[in-house]
């Protein structure tokens, strides 16, 4: 949390201990005060309040209800909470159970056992609202604040969703009510602290009426204060696109400060209204007018505040004026001022609008001492930019506009609803009327309408880089025709024999399966971490077995026999660089995309610190040997994490070589890997036979002997199951091909033999036999030269002499040297010969790439 890092927060107890337990040396409190040093604000969180708790992912803090607060003997502050879980925390496969769309604001009453409900009080971020709703109820559209409010409709106990039981429902309601009371009552006694800054602020604003630059600074400092929150919000917008909100609304609650950058608020409000009108959406219009009415009534209803607000609005208007470089100061009552504004509203509005956009777009680049002048140039620049982007992102416009409307309505609503904010009230309606005036002149509305999409659009490119759509969904176009289903027995068999076809069970790997399963299961139950190293030659079912284990475990976890766990898989071959492993793991765990170095830091933090609601992670590292780096830090880290106390990480490492730990790993890495090893032996022919026949169960396509032949052949060579299946597949093809002539439905020995021959035959002999005459003579010359010199290497010059002699014997015209060179390079390209680089010409050395006997055999036939 950026904001948290920037502003140091101190946690202190609120009030006296309610009760204390002597034995346990704990004392309970009814509330906690969070004081931020930067903003000089205090927040009081009471028992029963709803809070956000720092989680794994900074953008998705956990939601919880505070149940208890206590301090233990070691002066550590603790909190006991009732968790709520977000949709993101629910496993993908379970989300289907909901059978309805879930908004990002909806949370579920968490009844999953096994989550630690006792957390450190320091992880509490702030208080929020959680409103219970009945299942059928729609989410209320006009809400206080999107970020701050969540809704509960159902509870989640790890397996299924349930409607909230009446008593929890009422309890939650109760808590909310209580909160309302508390906030209103707490206001009564907190203020001494808060009110003073309010006064100070108003004073300073008043003062700044004469010194506009000062105000600028103030406004800008607010900008910078909310910068980080802005950035964060943008991030969260990217993650969950639905909840876009204006920074002002959020800032209101977060900083709890009465003054805010008027320019921004103004722009925000203006925007909202602009959208209303240009979009001409029916339901929005009445709400806008309703709002206006409400504000006016508010103003009327709160007469004591008016004088103050008058001052304030005056000063704001003045700052606005100064932005416009209007020299005359206007000291009028707010009602007359409205008229004043109508004269220059168009200009002003535009300016402010852009100003706002500047503040938004370049919060970091803007220095607080910017003079209005420079601001304007800046604004012009951005407006030029905006114009460019309009065409590009037209489609986004509508969406963003609507969202903006929502957010602006939020902010206005909150300002009318919350009494704490009432100092600001007058200034908001002031702006409102001002902006509404704009639309009375059609010309200006047209103009602003042009600007509005630009502004709203501008926000969207900020979320994702426009150059490359970050969240492009990778997809291969769908085929038009459905894939044809296998028609004959042979086709069916071939489909089943394809390596990708997933068999129901893995024959011949029962033992290994059981071992791995037991290992992971025991670690899962204990909640500890561990490593296992699995080795074996390619095609012996390592990955398949591990996947099968994970599948079974996941099933068991679903049936509640095991604690739930996360499954992450990385493959060394699918990484471009060993360090990318971090990025992938982090992406799987939290969905964040960061650089490798940053990911490593985050992961290390994640695995080394205890966190609430941490699930066990099962990490499968395939092709481990490719994660080797010179310093081996990737492997070191991977195997170091499980040894950490809180990591709850289980690693299954897969590689080909049995002695990999000893061979390439440093001692410290190998020792962390531990001694849990398993090696997959190559399949014997019986096992291969069993695999094939189990896949072919129920399909009569192969003769028994044919299968046996294949498996014996493969077992003798490599024991690679993939090879075995491929041969069988090829045999079915050959069978099908020859079927046209004779009607024959099963794969016989002959077909299998043909397939085997095709796969294992040496290509060289065939290649030599089909070579041209001079190429053959050249090979003969090589043999002769080798025999003469007794060395398996000769230069072209020497061979050439033999070649010429042979040609003379055969009565052929002897070739020129150029032709010989051409022959030599042709044979070299086929890799029948190994030749040097050709710039040595006659002195190029030549070697045979196959045995002399093979060449003789191939040549003798002629």
Please list every residue from 517 through 576 that binds another protein, using CB under 8 A: 537-539, 573-576
d(CA 851, CA 854): 5
Q: Site for another protein (CB under 8 A): how many residues?
A: 82
Host H or E run for residue 52: strand 50-53
Structure tokens at 296: 């006016």
Residue 494 in the binding site for another protein (CB under 8 A): yes
Could you tell me the smallest distance in angstroms from the CB atom of residue 675 to another protein? 25
Decide: 514 and 629 in contact? Cβ < 8 Å. Answer: no
Which residue, 196 or 838, has its beta carbon nearer to another protein?
838
d(CA 796, CA 777): 13
Could you tell me the smallest distance in angstroms from the CB atom of residue 784 to another protein? 17
254-262, 272-280, 487-495, 521-529 -> range binding another protein (CB under 8 A): 487-495
Residue 135 in the binding site for another protein (CB under 8 A): no
Select from 314, 509, 695, 723 the one that contacts another protein (CB under 8 A). 723
Please list every residue from 177 through 216 that binds another protein, using CB under 8 A: none
Select from 443, 479, 631, 697 the one that contacts another protein (CB under 8 A). 479
d(CA 435, CA 270): 6
Residue 20 in the binding site for another protein (CB under 8 A): no
63-71, 87-95, 434-442, 769-777 -> range binding another protein (CB under 8 A): 769-777
Please list every residue from 82 through 121 that binds another protein, using CB under 8 A: none
Select from 67, 699, 746, 804 the one that contacts another protein (CB under 8 A). 804
Structure tokens at 781: 């010359």
Residue 491 in the binding site for another protein (CB under 8 A): yes
Residue 857 in the binding site for another protein (CB under 8 A): no
Which residue, 849 or 852, has its beta carbon nearer to another protein?
849
User: Looking at the DSSP assignment, which residues form a beta bridge with residue 162?
Assistant: 155
Structure tokens at 128: 């929020």
Residue 858 in the binding site for another protein (CB under 8 A): no
Host H or E run for residue 130: strand 124-132
d(CA 82, CA 296): 41
Decide: 82 and 107 in contact? Cβ < 8 Å. Answer: no
Please list every residue from 501 through 520 that binds another protein, using CB under 8 A: 501-502
Select from 450, 675, 789, 817 the one that contacts another protein (CB under 8 A). 817
How many other C-beta atoms can be found within 10 angstroms of the C-beta atom of residue 184? 11
Residue 483 in the binding site for another protein (CB under 8 A): yes
User: Looking at the DSSP assignment, which residues form a beta bridge with residue 848?
Assistant: 833
Residue 733 in the binding site for another protein (CB under 8 A): yes
Residue 789 in the binding site for another protein (CB under 8 A): no
| Polymer length of the chain | 862
Could you tell me the smallest distance in angstroms from the CB atom of residue 153 to another protein? 32
25-33, 171-179, 494-502, 660-668 -> range binding another protein (CB under 8 A): 494-502
Could you tell me the smallest distance in angstroms from the CB atom of residue 377 to another protein? 31
Select from 369, 831, 838, 845 the one that contacts another protein (CB under 8 A). 831
Is beta strand 565-571 parallel, antiparallel or unpaired with respect to 616-622? parallel
Burial class (CB in 10 A: 0-12, 13-18, 19+), 502: exposed
How many other C-beta atoms can be found within 10 angstroms of the C-beta atom of residue 714? 28
Select from 22, 96, 468, 697 the one that contacts another protein (CB under 8 A). 468
Distances (CA, A) of 819 to 803, 804, 823: 12, 12, 6
Structure tokens at 786: 């080798």
Select from 193, 842, 851, 857 the one that contacts another protein (CB under 8 A). 842
Could you tell me the smallest distance in angstroms from the CB atom of residue 540 to another protein? 9
Decide: 303 and 158 in contact? Cβ < 8 Å. Answer: no
CB neighbours of 119 closer than 8 A, spacing ≥ 6? Answer: 53, 64, 78, 79, 80, 81, 612
Residue 759 in the binding site for another protein (CB under 8 A): yes
* DSSP notation for 244-275: ---HHHHHHHHH--S---HHHHHHHHHHHHHH
Binding mask 638-657 for another protein (x = CB under 8 A): ------------------x-
Residue 767 in the binding site for another protein (CB under 8 A): yes
Please list every residue from 584 through 603 that binds another protein, using CB under 8 A: 584
């Amino acid at each position: 949390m950026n904001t948290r890092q920037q502003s140091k927060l101190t946690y202190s107890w609120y009030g006296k201990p309610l009760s204390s337990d002597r034995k346990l040396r704990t004392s309970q409190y009814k509330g906690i005060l969070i004081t931020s040093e930067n903003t000089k604000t205090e927040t009081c969180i009471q028992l029963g309040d709803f809070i956000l708790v720092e989680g794994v992912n900074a953008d998705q803090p956990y939601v919880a209800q505070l149940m208890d607060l206590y301090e233990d003997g070691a002066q550590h502050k603790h909190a006991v909470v009732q968790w709520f879980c977000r949709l993101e925390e629910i496993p993908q496969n379970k989300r289907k159970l909901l059978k309805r769309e879930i908004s990002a604001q909806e949370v579920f009453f968490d009844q999953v056992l096994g989550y630690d409900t006792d957390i450190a009080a320091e992880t509490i971020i702030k208080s929020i609202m959680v409103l219970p709703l009945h299942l059928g109820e729609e989410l209320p559209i006009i809400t206080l604040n999107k970020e701050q409010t969540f809704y509960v409709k159902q509870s989640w106990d790890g397996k299924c969703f349930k409607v909230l039981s009446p008593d929890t429902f009422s309890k939650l309601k109760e808590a909310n009510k209580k909160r309302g009371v508390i906030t209103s009552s707490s206001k009564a006694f907190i203020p001494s602290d808060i009110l003073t800054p309010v006064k100070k602020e108003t004073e300073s604003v008043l003062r700044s009426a004469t010194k506009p630059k000062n105000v600028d600074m103030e406004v800008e400092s607010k900008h910078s204060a909310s910068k980080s929150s802005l950035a964060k919000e943008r991030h969260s917008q990217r993650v969950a696109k639905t909840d876009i909100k204006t920074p002002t609304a959020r800032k209101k609650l977060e900083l709890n400060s009465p003054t805010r950058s008027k320019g921004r608020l103004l722009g925000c409000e203006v925007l909202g209204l602009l959208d209303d009108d240009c979009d001409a959406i029916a339901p929005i219009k009445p709400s806008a007018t309703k709002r206006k009415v409400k504000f006016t009534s508010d103003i009327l209803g709160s007469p004591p505040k008016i004088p103050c607000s008058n001052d304030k609005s005056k000063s704001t208007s003045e700052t606005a004026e100064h932005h416009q470089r209007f020299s005359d100061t206007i000291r009028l009552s707010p009602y007359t001022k409205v008229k004043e504004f109508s004269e220059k509203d168009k200009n002003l509005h535009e300016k402010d609008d852009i100003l706002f956009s500047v503040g938004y777009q370049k919060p970091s680049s803007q220095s607080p001492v910017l003079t209005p002048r420079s601001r304007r140039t800046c604004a012009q620049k951005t407006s030029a930019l905006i114009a460019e982007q309009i065409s590009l992102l037209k489609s986004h416009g509508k969406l963003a506009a609507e969202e903006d409307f929502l957010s602006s309505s939020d902010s206005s609503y909150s300002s009318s609803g919350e009494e704490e904010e009432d100092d600001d009230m007058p200034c908001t309606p002031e702006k409102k009327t001002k902006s509404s005036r704009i639309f009375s002149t059609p010309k200006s509305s047209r103009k602003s309408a042009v600007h509005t999409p630009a502004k709203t659009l501008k926000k969207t490119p900020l979320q994702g880089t426009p150059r490359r759509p970050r969240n492009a969904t990778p997809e291969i176009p769908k085929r038009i025709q459905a894939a044809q289903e296998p028609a004959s027995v042979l086709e069916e068999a071939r489909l089943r024999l394809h390596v990708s076809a997933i068999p129901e069970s893995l024959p011949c790997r029962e033992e290994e399966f059981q071992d791995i399963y037991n290992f992971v299961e025991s670690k899962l139950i204990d909640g500890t971490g561990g490593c296992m190293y699995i080795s074996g030659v390619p095609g012996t079912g390592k990955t398949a077995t591990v996947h099968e284990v994970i599948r079974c475990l996941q099933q068991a976890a679903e049936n509640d026999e095991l604690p739930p766990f996360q499954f992450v898989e990385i493959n060394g071959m699918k990484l471009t660089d060993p360090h990318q492993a971090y990025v992938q793991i982090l992406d799987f765990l939290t969905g964040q995309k960061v650089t490798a170095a940053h990911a490593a830091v985050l992961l290390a933090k994640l695995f080394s610190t205890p966190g609430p609601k941490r699930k066990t992670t099962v990490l499968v590292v395939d092709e481990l040997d490719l994660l080797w780096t010179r310093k081996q830090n990737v492997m070191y880290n991977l195997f170091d994490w499980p040894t950490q106390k809180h990591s709850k990480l289980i690693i299954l490492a897969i590689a080909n070589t049995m002695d990999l730990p000893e061979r390439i790993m440093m001692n410290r890495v190998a020792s962390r890997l531990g001694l849990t090893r398993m090696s997959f032996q190559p399949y014997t022919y019986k096992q291969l036979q069993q695999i094939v026949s189990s896949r072919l169960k129920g399909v009569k396509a192969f003769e028994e002997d044919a299968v046996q032949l294949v498996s014996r052949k493969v077992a003798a060579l490599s024991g690679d199951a993939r090879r075995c299946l491929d041969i069988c597949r090829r045999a079915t093809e050959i069978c099908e091909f020859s079927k046209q002539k004779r009607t024959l439905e099963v794969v016989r020995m002959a077909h299998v033999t043909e397939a085997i021959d095709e796969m294992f035959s040496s290509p060289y002999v065939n290649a030599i036999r089909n070579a041209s005459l001079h190429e053959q003579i050249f090979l003969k010359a090589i043999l002769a030269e080798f025999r003469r010199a007794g060395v398996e290497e000769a230069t072209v010059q020497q061979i050439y002499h033999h070649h010429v002699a042979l040609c003379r014997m055969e009565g052929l015209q002897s070739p020129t040297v150029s032709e010989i060179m051409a022959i030599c390079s042709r044979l070299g390209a086929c890799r029948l010969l190994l030749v040097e680089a050709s710039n040595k010409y006659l002195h190029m050395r030549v070697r045979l790439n196959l045995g002399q006997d093979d060449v003789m055999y191939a040549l003798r036939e002629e």
